[in-house]
Amino acid sequence: MVKVPEEVRKTFEKQRVIPFATAAKNGIPNVALVGMWWWEDEETMVISDNYLNKTKNNFIENPVAALNGWADGKSYQIKGM
């Protein structure tokens, strides 16, 4: 796994809600706002599945996702599987 730099983690931590983007197998995109999440360690972000049915189904079909964090004039995107 890749370690997420501390500056990126701290930028995400300044947000209460983060956008979580997925796409279905046929390519139709979906973005859900996630309010329950935390860093488990410097490589792992945990996202709570609170009624994220479409997001969860998309991720099962197509395990590629993106998250966006922004604060203090900086914006970071994390993409992964």
Return the structure tokens found at 57. 């189904």
- Mean pLDDT of all residues in 49-77: 94
End-to-end CA distance of the chain: 10
Number of Cβ within 10 Å of residue 23's Cβ equals 17
Q: How confident is the model at residue 1 (pLDDT cuts 50, 70, 90)?
A: confident
Q: How confident is the model at residue 81 (pLDDT cuts 50, 70, 90)?
A: confident
pLDDT in the model for residue 73: 95
Return the structure tokens found at 75. 């914006």
Return the structure tokens found at 59. 């991720």
Predicted TM-score of the model (pTM): 0.86
Please give the class, per CATH, of domain 6-80. Answer: mainly beta
